[in-house]
Chains A and B, each alone.
Chain A
Amino acid sequence: MSALLDVHALTVFHGQLEAVHEVSLSVAPGEVVAMIGANGAGKSTLLRTIAGLHRPSAGKVAMDGRDITGLPPEKRVEAGLVLVPEGRRLFSSLSVEENLLTGTYRARPGPWDMERVAALFPWVNERRHQKASSLSGGEQQAIAISRALLVNPRVLMLDEPSLGLSPLALRRIYAVLPELLASGLGILLVEQDVRQALRVATRAHCLLEGRQTLAGVPAELDLERIEAAYFGVSYAQHGQGVVRA
């Protein structure tokens, strides 16, 4: 299957600091590409740059072979590239329903509408008139994902969806991934929770200080190599395992 999203040798600076160094990746329909790495490894910066919120200093982002590197975020949304940002970022003064409706403002044609999203998270119907800020973290994450789905993305980027969620809320969020993939979209997932990420990923990349240190199919990656790529030390030097899958 050919890739929907193609990122080629992307380099991003935060002032003097090189946050992302020549990272390349691709996402095809039905695929979950996981980007793992420690805090400050540049994962969020990478996603935000792909979404158009930061300008890269070098490299290319393409959707369907079309170069979108110069486009602002809202134009990338039109191309089907949608980011669910870290921390959910719901509109706090809008109700739950209004938050969802913002996803329909520039929606593309596609399978996701209010009804289908409500079927994904059935509790939404009873709580649609509540202010979004009154929801729990897990519920907010569900609304943030639903809001993004209503745009009918072709590639959905999830930035740390597990952050601050209880294990139960986390399971509920991850439980909907198969249905999203079945609708034909590709997912680019940034996650600190390595176990969780590797469980759902079809491919994984590891970032360390902005550099790609590992890439492959989760089944073929052993913990030793992941740990080395994650922390930047080899297993032999470090002496004991930290990541337990």
Chain B
Amino acid sequence: MTYLNALAQGIMLGGLFALFACGLSLIFGVMEVINLAHGDVAVAAVYLAIVLIPATHVSAIWIFVLVVPTFVVGGYLMQRYFLQRSLDSGPVTTLLVTFGLSVVLENVLLEVFTANSQSLQIGSLVSDSITISSQIFLPYLSLIILGAAIVALAAVHLFLARTRTGRMVRAVADDREAAQLVGAGYRHLFGVAAALAFGTVALAGLALGMYTSVAPSTGPSYLLYGFAAVVIGGLGSLWGTLLGGMVLGVATTLGSLVDPDFGSMLPYLVFLAVLAVRPRGLFPKKSLA
């Protein structure tokens, strides 16, 4: 029964990892950029919420209504006016630039908010849960996070699969030149992909800020989980990413049953095992949606 509970918790934690990973997958799939600042962007979203909550009197659980759109717009502008310049000068430059962005973000947050851990206060929601049996209980917060992750991933999927712009984002990921030849400005479409990535990772950051506490230096460790989820699921496949996140989540919670330290090690062992057996991930796929 303890195992069943760990499994349930792990699946819910997996939603959070998947939400983290989906933007990484998207930016890599469309622009072939590995965004090393991805985790720090999530942490920045938490700090923006920490500033906005007292200023606007919006409760922590609803603050995403303000934070996510800010990051969507910010992601678009960041891509168009900052990352695009580095993209134009080659793939190594983007790696350096996003690494630099990560360092700058971390240090600005450290300077403004100190190194103390903080979390988003959501009152009793943090501890309330549905008790299914004496051994299995599902915390409301975990359910909300899993639900939000699935809704966000489904929204991204529908956008890419069904809308004109989403279709062109996939086209530009397949063949940038051919997309230009039907009149698509790839810079705009890259901006759209970055907007989606920043929006989803901001949502992931807020979820993280409610689930646990974050400090300016938290970002990179979640970047690793994101990478692992993307690779386990198969690069470029959104639903594969969700599954990859859940595999990591379950590995974390099952590992923690044995020993808390083993809980942070097991996901990476699983990651290595998947790479050894299926180097292209569980669902290798070339298309985004």
Check A93 for interface membership: any CB of B closer than 8 A.
yes
Interface size on A, residues (CB 8 A): 28
B177 touches A106 (CB 8 A): no
CA separation between A84 and B178, bound complex, in Å?
9
B167 touches A72 (CB 8 A): no
B184 touches A102 (CB 8 A): yes
Which B residues are in CB contact (< 8 Å) with A106? 182-184
Which B residues are in CB contact (< 8 Å) with A74? 180, 183-186
B174 touches A91 (CB 8 A): yes
B232 to chain A, nearest CB (A): 21
Check A98 for interface membership: any CB of B closer than 8 A.
yes
B182 touches A148 (CB 8 A): yes
CA separation between A78 and B184, bound complex, in Å?
10
B183 touches A72 (CB 8 A): no
Check A89 for interface membership: any CB of B closer than 8 A.
yes
CA separation between A93 and B175, bound complex, in Å?
10
Known: A74-B184, A101-B167, A105-B184. A93 touches B179 (CB 8 A): no
Which B residues are in CB contact (< 8 Å) with A107? 183
Check B114 for interface membership: any CB of A closer than 8 A.
no
Which B residues are in CB contact (< 8 Å) with A84? 181
What string of 1s and 0s marks CB contacts (under 8 Å) between B159-179 and chain A?
000001001101101110111
Check B213 for interface membership: any CB of A closer than 8 A.
no
Which A residues are in CB contact (< 8 Å) with B178? 85, 89-91
A102 touches B175 (CB 8 A): no
B179 touches A102 (CB 8 A): yes
A218 to chain B, nearest CB (A): 28
B181 touches A105 (CB 8 A): no
B177 touches A93 (CB 8 A): no
CA separation between A52 and B184, bound complex, in Å?
13
B180 touches A73 (CB 8 A): yes
B171 touches A89 (CB 8 A): no
B101 to chain A, nearest CB (A): 27
What string of 1s and 0s marks CB contacts (under 8 Å) between A72-93 and chain B?
1110011000111100011111
Check B287 for interface membership: any CB of A closer than 8 A.
yes
B184 touches A91 (CB 8 A): no
Check A21 for interface membership: any CB of B closer than 8 A.
no
Check B22 for interface membership: any CB of A closer than 8 A.
no
Across the interface, A98 reaches (CB within 8 A) one of B167, B175, B177, namely B167
Which A residues are in CB contact (< 8 Å) with B85? none
Which A residues are in CB contact (< 8 Å) with B278? none
B183 touches A151 (CB 8 A): yes
Total A-B Cβ pairs within 8 A: 79
What string of 1s and 0s marks CB contacts (under 8 Å) between A136-155 and chain B?
00000000000110010000
CA separation between A102 and B170, bound complex, in Å?
10
A91 touches B180 (CB 8 A): no
Across the interface, B183 reaches (CB within 8 A) one of A77, A89, A93, A94, namely A77
Which A residues are in CB contact (< 8 Å) with B186? 74
Within 8 A of B (CB), among A185-215: none
B168 touches A105 (CB 8 A): yes
CA separation between A105 and B184, bound complex, in Å?
7
Which B residues are in CB contact (< 8 Å) with A147? 182
Check B288 for interface membership: any CB of A closer than 8 A.
yes
Which A residues are in CB contact (< 8 Å) with B173? 93
Known: A74-B180, A82-B181, A83-B181. A105 touches B164 (CB 8 A): yes
B18 to chain A, nearest CB (A): 21
Across the interface, A94 reaches (CB within 8 A) one of B174, B180, B181, namely B174
A78 touches B183 (CB 8 A): yes
Which among B174, B175, B179 has the highest number of chain A CB atoms within 10 Å?
B174
CA separation between A98 and B160, bound complex, in Å?
12
Within 8 A of B (CB), among A44-78: 51-53, 72-74, 77-78
B177 touches A105 (CB 8 A): no
- Find the A residue at minimum CB distance from B186: A74
Q: List 30 contacting pairs A-B, 8 Å CB cutoff, sorted by A.
A: A53-B180, A73-B181, A74-B183, A74-B184, A74-B185, A77-B182, A82-B181, A83-B181, A84-B181, A85-B177, A85-B178, A85-B181, A89-B181, A90-B178, A91-B174, A92-B174, A93-B170, A93-B173, A93-B174, A93-B287, A93-B288, A94-B170, A94-B287, A102-B168, A102-B171, A102-B182, A102-B184, A105-B183, A105-B184, A147-B182
Please give the residue numbers on chain B whose beta carbons come within 8 Å of chain A beta carbons, in ascending order.
164, 167-168, 170-171, 173-175, 177-186, 286-288
Please give the residue numbers on chain A whose beta carbons come within 8 Å of chain B beta carbons, in ascending order.
51-53, 72-74, 77-78, 82-85, 89-94, 98, 101-103, 105-107, 147-148, 151
6 further A-B contacts with Cβ under 8 Å, apart from A73-B180, A78-B183, A93-B173, are A77-B182, A92-B175, A93-B170, A94-B167, A98-B170, A102-B184
10 nearest CB pairs, A to B: A106-B183, A93-B287, A77-B183, A89-B178, A73-B180, A91-B174, A91-B171, A74-B185, A74-B183, A102-B171
